[in-house]
Structure formats: C-alpha cells, structure tokens
Amino acid sequence: MDNRSLWESLGMDLDRHDQLLAVLPQVFSGIYLEQPSRPKEMAYFDQVVADIHGARVKELLEHKGRGGKVFASFCIYVPEEIIYAAGGASIGLCGGAELPIGTAERILPRNLCPLIKSSVGFKLERICPYFEVADLVVGETTCDGKKKAWEVLSEYVPMYVMELPQRKGKRDLEFWEGELWEFLHKVEEITGRTIGEEDLRRGIEVTDRKRRALARLFELRKADPVPISGLDALLVVQLGFFDDPPRFAAKVEELCEELERRIEVGEGAFPDWRPRIVISGSPMAIPNWKVHALVEKLGGAVVCEESCTGTRALTGTTEPEGDGIGGLIKGIAQRQLRANCACFTPNQERVEDVLRLCREYAADGVILYSLQFCQPFILEAYRLERALRGEGIPVLRIETDYGEGDMEALKLRVKGFLESLVR
Amino acid sequence: MKALGIDIGSAWTKAVLLEGGEIVAAKAIPTGPDFAKAGLRAARSLLRGRGGLKGVKGLVVTGYGRDAFPRGRKVTELTCQARGVWGLRPSVRTIIDVGGQDTKVIRIGEEGRLLTFVMNDKCAAGTGRFLEAIARALRMRVWELGLLAEQAELGCSINSTCTVFAETEVIGLLASGRAKEDVCRGVIESVGKRVAALALSLGVEGEVALVGGVAKVPCLKEALEEELGTDLVDLPLDPQFTGAYGAALLAADGRSWP
C-alpha cells in the first residue's frame, strides 16, 4: 500500500496532511542535512524522519493485523515495559509542529503550552497517523494543562490517564506502584493477554536495551571535541519514542561504534572550537529543533539535554526490588521516579542533576529552555539559574513557542550568550 | 589605522569612524526598510572626503540589521555596548540600553567583555516603540512628549503594560481633563518602571550608564533614576553612538571572535 492510500484508509485529512508534510523536508534538510561532517550512521535516522508518517505506521498496522495493540503516550512516566510485556507497541505522539495549533485554539486557551495545543490539534485535524492507529492513548497528570487537555481529548480518542504523584516520598512510591498495577490490568484488558512475570521481564529487557544504547550515546557526548552535534543526538532521542525498540537500539549501537572511532582519532562534529552548551528544561517533540538549530548555527555545540527528550528519559535500567512480578513493578516505579520532572515538588534533585551534568559534560554555559506557558519549568528556572550562577556557570533563559515570530530576538540572545562564552 | 563601526538599529543606523583609537567622525541616519542600504549610506556619508571604504582596515557591523550587511565582522550589540561603554568609562559595570524595539540590561566583565544580560520579551513596553506609539496618538514627537513631562506637577499613573491599551488609557486620561503635562509624565514614568524592573531582575551593580537613542528623551533619565534608586553616570559620548563606538573599537582591536 502506498502512503496516500494508507493515510486515506486511516480517515486522515489528506489535504491538510499534505500541507504539514510539504514543509517538513525543507525544514529538515535546511537544519540537518547541511551540517558539516555528520556521522554516517545518521543515515538510518534521516531515513526514518523522511518517511515518518509512512513506514512505521505500516508496521504498526501489520502489528494490528496480527492482533497486536498500539498504545500512544506523551510522557516518560508511561511505562513502556508493561506495554511490551503484553506484546503491545508503544509510540510517542506528535506534538512539535506549529501547523495544528490554530485549530486547537478553537477549544484550548491561547495561553497554554504549544506542546499540548499541537498534540490536541493533530487529533482535531486528523493529520497524525499515530493517533489514528492507537488503540489507547495514555495520558498522565504531570501538569494542569495536560490534565485538562485529556478531558477534551477523551471526546475524540480512547483515553486512559495515569495519576503521577507530585512528591517522591514512600507513600508516593507506593501510590505510583498502584498506578502501574492498574495500568497493567488495563493493558491486559485491551490486549486480551495476561502479563506474567516472564512477560514483564522481557518487556523490561526490551526497554532497558534501548535505554542502555541511548545512555552510551550520551556518555560519548562528553568527549572533547564532541563527536556528534546536539541536533543529531536530539533527533536520535526523539525517534526513540517512535521506532521499533530492538531495531532502534541496534542502530543506536552502530552509531555509537562510529562515534567511538571518531573519538579515538579526535574527530569532532564541528570544524572549529565551540562553547559547549547544556540545554535544560521542557521536552522537544519532533519537529521542534528550534533552539538546537539556532545554537549550532550561531557557533555553539549542544552537548547534553536535561530534558524528557534527553537525560530524564535515561534514568538507568530497572532493578527488580524483591521477588516475583511485584518486585519488577516496584523496580519500574523506582527507576521512573528517578527522573526529576519539574512537576514534582520540591525538586532540588533536578538542580543537582543540572549541576552534575555541567561538570560531566564540561559545559561552558547552560540554556534554560521553557516552552511558552510551561509553568513548572518557567518557575523552576529561577532557582536553577541562581544555583548555576552560584557555581560560576553562565546561564541564558529562553521561553519560546514553535513559531518563527521571535527568531530575530532569539538570535540576538543566543549569539550574545555565545559571544560572552568565548574563552 | 582606520576602523569603522556600524550599528544598524531598528529605528536608526549609526556609524563611528576611529583613527588611531580616536573618534574622527560619527553619523546617524533613519534606518528605513532596507538594512543593508542604511548601513552603506551611513558608512559612505561618514567616509566621504576621508578616503572611502578602501582605507578602512577593520569593520564591525552590529545591531538588528547586521546580518543583512554584505561586509565586515558581525557582532551583537550586546558585546558592542559592553566594549563601547568600557572604552568610555571603565568603572561602569551595568549598562541600560533602551533601544527602538529592545531594552537590554548588560553587565560588563573584565576588559569590557560581555558578562551577562537580560532583555525584554516580545513586547514593546519599556522601549522606544512604546514612546513613539503614545507620542503619535498625542500627535507630537517623542522629545516633545519628554519636554512636556518635565513641566508636570504630578505624573498620572498609566496601568496598561500593552502599548495598544496604553494608547487608549492615555487618550482616556486626557478626555477626563488631566493636564497633558501630567499625562506625558505618566508615560515616561511607565517606561522608567518597566526598564527598572528589567534592570533589577539582573541586579544593578557598580556604576550604571544609560545608553541608546531613547536615553536622549528629556525626563527619562530622571524617571529611571527615581525607580532604580541610583544615579546614572554621564558618558563622554552621545548615548546613541555607544554601540557603534564599541563596534569600531572591536574592529580596531582586530580580535578574531567576537
């Protein structure tokens, strides 16, 4: 089946979808393909993006044809392990494009973060095939915007919401374990399969292999000169939410081998010396490459993201905590709650994470990135900035959406920041 | 050696020519819609009778329109302001630059380097555009607005942050019979408040200098000093030219980057 008949069979709005895809190749090639000295193994990831609404969607339909189910989510706190344990497929949903935001604003307030508006807009406009193939959309209660958006979205898709606690005490961990159990039963109900201990162990291994591969990639970015651009690393992480996990892990491992060879001979991603930048804050969903593109075009190198599309997705592997399936669930809960999202309070651990990452990645400066109206991250930027400045680390705060309207203003801030970092 | 600095701002384009480190000429022209052309015009008029562009050894272009200019090294106005003000008065640590559409507060580091900065967000409040819009609504020039403000007895309080709403508010105040001097004073004070809030978010440290075209508006300096609770020092150069002067100094320094 060609892509158009595929999208038509999913009931998508083909004209509007054409508009979306019409800009993507141009944006992608302008930002990605013009980078100098890219790793050759990025070719795989380029090809996945080039057909982002095609090949993978077909695979998911074939999976459904075999009786498999598809679970779509937006957040690293949704446990993929449990989905894989029941033979399900897990995908991250679209939410990084400007195009559907206007439509979403017919229902949602304008002063809401662009990620939520974009995601809801994708469904309203029927231009995201992943929404259309999903048997269940899994939300979580990370922020007020998302909580309320799920109520709206549940009128359009089969919706399930996991309640994430806001603290990380003993009771919160127990509560979250309970949420994982309830989700497990929901997955069993949707897939019609019972999840046993061995199934969950297998689900954990599939997820952990992906995590180990990404962690290895992030480890390699500590090298000086950095062997891969921030743009390329971000793309890999973003695709980790879409791609088939074993294949993705294998491709990331191949990429890492190439980067290891590069490091051995001192080959960097950039021809010149560049200030090393850590970006910390809100997640960046495909095709939101705005800040990375700006930083690297203007002469910086992004070496790490403290983000859900970055280190927060890499909280080590799952260590069973006790016997049986209960021990596995507890292990998953503990691993997940190691991620320090700004939705938790207090959240001093995130401040410590960022300070540690600055040391490990030899950062020359930090960009605190918030999506517009993303209150948890905007508010935390105050304490983070103070802590970073206290350690003598230069900071730039950026709050932006997916639009192009503030490009000139951002350019000035980023270029000025990079100028101030030149040693 | 001749070094040229061009600052293509959103409203005005400024150029400063240095010879042996001293200013030999300076020129400001309205920018208009074509940034490159404005830069070239400013440079040409400055170099007329002084040997033209050929004799210039160093060229740094800064300001909003810098990337449109076909020649020279491009450096942000943040770095140029830091270098320029440091060149004029090394004891200044904080620069408040109120420009046509941006307001910046800049901390100067060692040897005139840019240390850190904050800027206004996507909004005209606290910039020259705000004053221009209000002045236009009152059918006067910005400097006239400043002169009237100086004669006020008690400034009106302007509560709208949004430029468009502030226009409406100002017209409403006049309609309710408030003296135009007091209204103008209120307008200037509202800019002072916005700019001071930005400056205090970075923290005011050491000597503070006010630069940018808007610094020349009567009454604004006093309003800002009142809000900041500190004096603003005088610089031995027209505050509209400090960015272009910094660019010229960087051109003369001849360092690779920035």
Instruction: Say how far apart CA A22 and CA A15 lie, in whole Å.
Output: 10
Q: Does B76 touch chain A (CB under 8 A)?
A: yes
Does the pLDDT value for residue B69 go beyond 70?
yes
Instruction: Tell me the nearest-neighbour CA distance from B118 into chain A, angstroms.
Output: 9
Question: Which among A193, A200, A70 is positioned nearest to A137, based on CA atoms?
Answer: A70
Nearest CA in chain A to B112: A420
**Model pLDDT for residues A155-196, shown as the tens digit of each residue:** 999 999 999 999 999 999 999 999 999 999 999 999 999 999
Does the pLDDT value for residue A268 go beyond 60?
yes
**Model pLDDT for residues A140-150, shown as the tens digit of each residue:** 999 999 999 99
Which of A:250-309 have CB within 8 Å of B? 299
CB B4 within 8 A of CB B13: no
**Model pLDDT for residues A4-32, shown as the tens digit of each residue:** 999 999 999 999 999 999 988 989 999 99
> How would residue B141 be classed by pLDDT, with cut points 50, 70 and 90?
very high
Counts of helices then strands in chain B (DSSP H, E):
8, 10
Instruction: Tell me the nearest-neighbour CA distance from B38 into chain A, angstroms.
Output: 18
Q: Does B235 touch chain A (CB under 8 A)?
A: no
For A99-117, what is the mean pLDDT? 95
Instruction: Say how far apart CA A228 and CA A267 lie, in whole Å.
Output: 10
How close are the terminal C-alpha atoms of chain A, in Å? 56
3-class DSSP assignment, residue B227? helix
Decide if B102 and A412 are in contact by the 8 Å CB cutoff: yes
> How would residue A276 be classed by pLDDT, with cut points 50, 70 and 90?
very high
Question: Which among B227, B225, B200 is positioned nearest to B118, based on CA atoms?
Answer: B200
Decide if B76 and A415 are in contact by the 8 Å CB cutoff: yes
Query: Which residues does chain B have within 8 Å of residue A410's beta carbon, measured at their own beta carbons?
Result: none
How close are the terminal C-alpha atoms of chain B, in Å? 20
Residue B1: the pLDDT is 83
Instruction: Say how far apart CA A337 and CA A210 lie, in whole Å.
Output: 18
**Model pLDDT for residues A288-310, shown as the tens digit of each residue:** 999 999 999 999 999 999 999 99
Q: Does B119 touch chain A (CB under 8 A)?
A: yes
Instruction: Say how far apart CA A242 and CA A201 lie, in whole Å.
Output: 22
For A399-413, what is the mean pLDDT? 92
**Residue-by-residue DSSP string for B186-212:** HHHHHHHHHHHHHHHHH---SEEEEES
CB A132 within 8 A of CB A52: no
> How would residue B54 be classed by pLDDT, with cut points 50, 70 and 90?
confident
Residue B122: the pLDDT is 66
**Model pLDDT for residues A376-400, shown as the tens digit of each residue:** 999 999 999 999 999 999 999 999 9
Residue A181 burial by Cβ neighbours in a 10 Å radius (0-12, 13-18, 19+): middle
Strands B2-8 and B56-62: parallel
Q: Identity (one letter) of the amino acid at B84?
A: G
Nearest CA in chain B to A408: B64
Decide if B114 and A405 are in contact by the 8 Å CB cutoff: no
Least confident of B20-24, B51-55, B121-125: B121-125
> How would residue A94 be classed by pLDDT, with cut points 50, 70 and 90?
confident
Decide if A420 and B122 are in contact by the 8 Å CB cutoff: no
- Cβ partners under 8 Å of residue A44, min gap 6: A251, A254, A255
Beta strands in A244-300 (DSSP E): 276-281
A160 backbone dihedrals φ, ψ, rounded to 5°: -135, 135
Instruction: Tell me the nearest-neighbour CA distance from A131 into chain B, angstroms.
Output: 34
Instruction: Say how far apart CA B185 and CA A360 lie, in whole Å.
Output: 53
**Model pLDDT for residues A34-53, shown as the tens digit of each residue:** 998 899 999 999 999 999 99
Question: Both tokens of residue B229?
Answer: 């609770």
**What is the average pLDDT value for chain A, to the nearest integer?**
96
Decide if B113 and A420 are in contact by the 8 Å CB cutoff: yes
For A82-110, what is the mean pLDDT? 95
Residue in B64, B78, B109 closest to A416 by CB: B78
Decide if A412 and B113 are in contact by the 8 Å CB cutoff: no
Residue A91: the pLDDT is 96
Instruction: Say how far apart CA B73 and CA B59 lie, in whole Å.
Output: 6
Residue A129 burial by Cβ neighbours in a 10 Å radius (0-12, 13-18, 19+): buried
Instruction: Say how far apart CA B4 and CA B40 lie, in whole Å.
Output: 12
Instruction: Say how far apart CA A242 and CA A238 lie, in whole Å.
Output: 8
**Model pLDDT for residues A315-355, shown as the tens digit of each residue:** 999 999 999 999 999 999 999 999 999 999 999 999 999 99
Q: Does B113 touch chain A (CB under 8 A)?
A: yes
- Residue pointed to by tokens 């979250």: A176
Best mutation target, A378, A407, A419, to test chain B (most B CBs within 10 A): A419
Q: What is the pTM of this model?
A: 0.94
Check residue A11 and give left, alpha or beta (phi > 0: left; psi -120 to 50: alpha): left
Residue B101: the pLDDT is 82
For residues B222-238, b (16+ Cβ closer than 10 Å) or e, as one string?
Answer: ebbbebbeeebeebebe
Residue B60 pairs in a beta bridge with B5, B73
Q: What's the length of chain B?
A: 258
Does the pLDDT value for residue B256 go beyond 80?
no
Nearest CA in chain A to B103: A409
Best mutation target, A372, A412, A417, to test chain B (most B CBs within 10 A): A412
Residue in A406, A408, A413 closest to B64 by CB: A408
Decide if A420 and B114 are in contact by the 8 Å CB cutoff: yes
Q: Does A412 touch chain B (CB under 8 A)?
A: yes
Instruction: Say how far apart CA B8 and CA B24 lie, in whole Å.
Output: 19
3-class DSSP assignment, residue A211? helix
Decide if B258 and A419 are in contact by the 8 Å CB cutoff: yes
Query: Which residues does chain A have within 8 Å of residue B250's beta carbon, measured at their own beta carbons?
Result: none
For the beta sheet containing A276-281, the strands, ordered from the edge strand earlier in sequence to the opposite edge, are: A301-306, A276-281, A365-371, A395-400
The CA–CA distances, whole Å, from A201 to A75, A84, A204, A279, A332 equal 22, 10, 5, 34, 11
Decide if B122 and A405 are in contact by the 8 Å CB cutoff: yes
Does the pLDDT value for residue B257 go beyond 60?
no
Decide if A409 and B102 are in contact by the 8 Å CB cutoff: yes
In this structure, how many other beta carbons lie within 10 angstroms of the beta carbon of residue A164?
Answer: 22
Question: Both tokens of residue B162?
Answer: 């949004």
Q: Identity (one letter) of the amino acid at A6?
A: L
Best mutation target, B62, B64, B74, B76, to test chain A (most A CBs within 10 A): B76
Decide if A412 and B115 are in contact by the 8 Å CB cutoff: no
Question: Which among A10, A75, A41 is positioned nearest to A308, based on CA atoms?
Answer: A75
Decide if A416 and B102 are in contact by the 8 Å CB cutoff: no
Does the pLDDT value for residue A225 go beyond 90?
yes
Query: Which residues does chain A have within 8 Å of residue B76's beta carbon, measured at their own beta carbons?
Result: 412, 415-416, 419
Decide if B119 and A405 are in contact by the 8 Å CB cutoff: no
Question: What is the helix (H) or strand (E) element at residue B165, kind and residue range?
Answer: helix B163-175
Residue A198 burial by Cβ neighbours in a 10 Å radius (0-12, 13-18, 19+): exposed
Give the distance from CA A6 to its chain's centroid.
26
Counts of helices then strands in chain A (DSSP H, E):
18, 8
CB B186 within 8 A of CB B158: yes
Residue A276 pairs in a beta bridge with A301
Residue B142: the pLDDT is 92
Query: Which residues does chain A have within 8 Å of residue B122's beta carbon, measured at their own beta carbons?
Result: 405-406, 409
The CA–CA distances, whole Å, from A155 to A110, A125, A151 equal 20, 14, 7
> How would residue B53 be classed by pLDDT, with cut points 50, 70 and 90?
confident
Is there a cis peptide before residue A346, judged by omega within 30 degrees of 0? yes
- Residue pointed to by tokens 């508009």: A19
**Model pLDDT for residues B156-215, shown as the tens digit of each residue:** 988 887 888 888 899 999 999 999 999 999 999 999 999 999 999 998 889 999 998 888
Question: What is the helix (H) or strand (E) element at residue A366, kind and residue range?
Answer: strand A365-371
For residues A303-342, b (16+ Cβ closer than 10 Å) or e, as one string?
Answer: bbbbbbbbbbbbbeebebbeeebeebbbbbbbbbbebbbb
Q: Does B117 touch chain A (CB under 8 A)?
A: yes
Decide if A413 and B119 are in contact by the 8 Å CB cutoff: yes
